[in-house]
Structure 1
């Protein structure tokens, strides 16, 4: 009986200690890159962990790579983070702004047969965030990076 009681107490302690709030969320990056006669090889975008200030820019988990689709950006990321804070776009944007002044993006292009990285800092004022409805689990927010002009 003592063992069952100890296991029950241990179980409740673990559940209470490691329980999470409800509501994972996802972000979908969208945007367009305007380049003149240069081919885009790949795009590196910040992960949710980076936007939350949990990862550094040079860390392995700070960015995710994607291939452009007709010079466009389209990728969806899921968070492992949970909270009721991530239900409204205003609260999420406020959190991002307090953690990161700008969003860095790295675009790898092929110029004269060689790969070249172009780093761009986008300000939060030029990014629109909206909450989208879908039938998947968790909230979905779209981060529209709009048109990125590279000369």
Structure 2
């Protein structure tokens, strides 16, 4: 019994002493894809881990794939636990700019009955970021990708 009590106290002490995460934040990707000659099927957007500069060889960590029923992008992602607290959209954008020069986007389209992969890079100057107030845990930031034109 003394050992269990000692291990519990030791475990709680370590947990409180070496805690590293302050919280999470969320991002909401919005935008539209415009194409006159192709049907938009899917889009792969960078994960928050990728935007933070974490390099991993697995594609699941770099991109999230979204099936689109229309040409509108509207999806939310939650961050991993982070020791950074982002209260202002400008601070988050400055941080992202230090990690990546642009955002890679992969789009799957169907053209003439064949599926094609289209890769494009969006620069930070073409993306607006704003904070949205909602009642959920963690700050919500909207990344507006605006209109992505596919030829």
Match of 2:9 in 1: 8
- Secondary structure of the residue that 1:80 maps to in structure 2? coil
Q: CA deviation at 1:59?
A: 2.8
Residues 115-139 of structure 1: per-residue CA shift (max 9 Å, x gap): 1000010000000000001111110
Per-residue Cα deviation, 1:75-121 (whole angstroms, up to 9, x for no partner):
10011233453111111111100100000000000012111000010
Q: CA deviation at 1:42?
A: 0.2
**Partner residue, 2:74:** 74
Q: Structure 1: which 5+ runs fail to align?
A: none
The worse-fitting range, judged by mean Cα deviation, of 49-58 and 35-44 is 49-58
Deviation at 1:2, TM superposition (A): 6.0
* Kept after mapping to 1: 8 A contact 2:41/2:69: no
SS where residue 106 of structure 2 aligns? strand
In the alignment, structure 1 residue 92 sits paired with structure 2 residue 57: no
Assess if the C-alpha contact under 8 Å between 1:23 and 1:87 holds in 2.
no
* TM-score (structure 2 length as normaliser): 0.90
8 Å CA contact retained: 1:23, 1:86: no
Q: What SS does structure 2 have at the residue aligned with 1:136?
A: coil
Distance, in Å, in 1 between the alignment partners of 2:42 and 2:92 is 27
**Residue 48 of structure 2 is aligned to residue 51 of structure 1:** no
1:8 Cα shift?
A: 1.5
Aligned length: 150
Gaps of at least 5 residues in structure 2 are none
Could you tell me how far 1:61 is from its partner in structure 2? 1.2
- Displacement of 1:68: 2.3
- The equivalent of 1:115 in structure 2 is 115
Indicate the RMSD between aligned Cα atoms, in angstroms.
1.9
